[in-house]
Structure 1
Amino acid sequence: MRSWVSLAAALGLTLAGCAAARPGGAAQAGALKLELAGRTAVVRVALPAAEVDPANDHSITLLGTRGPFMLLTDSYASRGQSMSRCQAGHETWVRLIDTRTRTERWNKRVESCLHDIQPGDPVATWTGDGADFTVRTLSEPSTQMSVAADGSVTQRN
């Protein structure tokens, strides 16, 4: 149910050039289905198959857009380990998607049962008026990133 609430919030964006995020489903492991300019597009993303269970509990939350860049979280159920470790855990990434080229430009794991990473609050936000964003986890200092017009991403701190 959580994924449908996130999906409803993402679909609320109706401005021209904005994009909505939709879950890709079990058959699309390592890919996100996004609605871009009224058309469905598939964006391949980095996804460690040994650590996630794409057939179970996948959700996408759109955090916002800046020009052609979409910032979102993409969360999967952790693949269970021996002795019931991480049977109910999640692996979550912040991802930067370039809607022009339909590519993932950057990602960072921000929640993990397998690697003991806890997300900050908020986990990621656009900062200022440009294409800069900040990602927060409880296990390390905030990461500040800048996105150039060509889609290249650099760390600011």
Structure 2
Amino acid sequence: MNITFRLLFLSVCFFICASCSKEDDKYPVVGDWELIMWTVGIPFDLGNNQVHSLNFLDKTACNVNETLNFNHKGIVTSSNTFNPEITIRLKEDTSDVYFVEEICDEGTIGFSTSYLQVDKLNIELNNAVGMVERNKLTLVYANAIKIYNEVFTEVIESKDLTLVYRKK
């Protein structure tokens, strides 16, 4: 009888501890995330100061205040989405010299949409695949950015757009 009581007590303690675990441990994407990197994997220099960066946010003249909020019900919202118009051209007769131009949006763009929690660390939203790792969320939009030839007469390739967010 004493062993049965101990087993019952341990089982109850286990279930109480398991039910007390934080929801964020089960779904680490839930919460607020700020945009810290926007890249297509091409080093560029918008300011023509001979300092190149892979992170467009290091060079942009646009306001960057994007924050995503993921809730437990599968909804993600942003009230200040970073959405400049970016054009990238490859300099003729080169394989790694790019011209990057931006036009900043005026005003504020926001959205609200559903996301799918694929498993503990992976999500899908807006045709992007996302992964949470060490308080960073990386979203990859496959073939989202077109690279043009120097005179804009043809698209010569497409690059993945990678957005990296840090949990607030």
Question: Normalization by structure 1: what TM-score?
Answer: 0.29
Which one has the bigger strand percentage?
Answer: 1
- Give the structure with higher Rg (CA): 2
Name which structure has the greater RCO, CA cutoff 8 Å, separation 6+. 2
Which one has the bigger helix percentage?
Answer: 2
